[in-house]
Amino acid sequence: MRYRVPLVLTPQAEAGYTVTSPLLPELVTEGDTVSEALENAKDAFAAVMELYEDLGRPLPEGTFLSSRDPFGVEAVVSAP
């Protein structure tokens, strides 16, 4: 199953990016590069999925896509 997850990448003053999701406030991670930040977002999303499952909460509507790829991403990168 594929998921669509809106992400916001915020550049940090000391370098790197913080990743958050307006749809999933529990998803917070970071990375030194955009590529690393997006890769870390996959792990963070997996942790959020596990949390929701443990709590018996469904993921928000609109996060599901049908495909073999396990992760889809929409990203917004803010400028300094």
The reported pLDDT for the residue numbered 77 is 56
> Does residue 4 register a pLDDT over 90?
no
The reported pLDDT for the residue numbered 70 is 53
Cα separation, 77 vs 34, whole angstroms = 9
* Predicted confidence (pLDDT) per residue in 38-80, tens digit: 999 999 999 998 998 999 988 887 676 555 555 555 555 555 5
What structural domains and CATH numbers belong to the chain?
2-77 (3.30.160.250)
The reported pLDDT for the residue numbered 3 is 75
> Does residue 12 register a pLDDT over 80?
yes
pTM for the model stands at: 0.75
The reported pLDDT for the residue numbered 22 is 87
Give 79's contacts (C-beta < 8 A, 6+ positions apart): 11
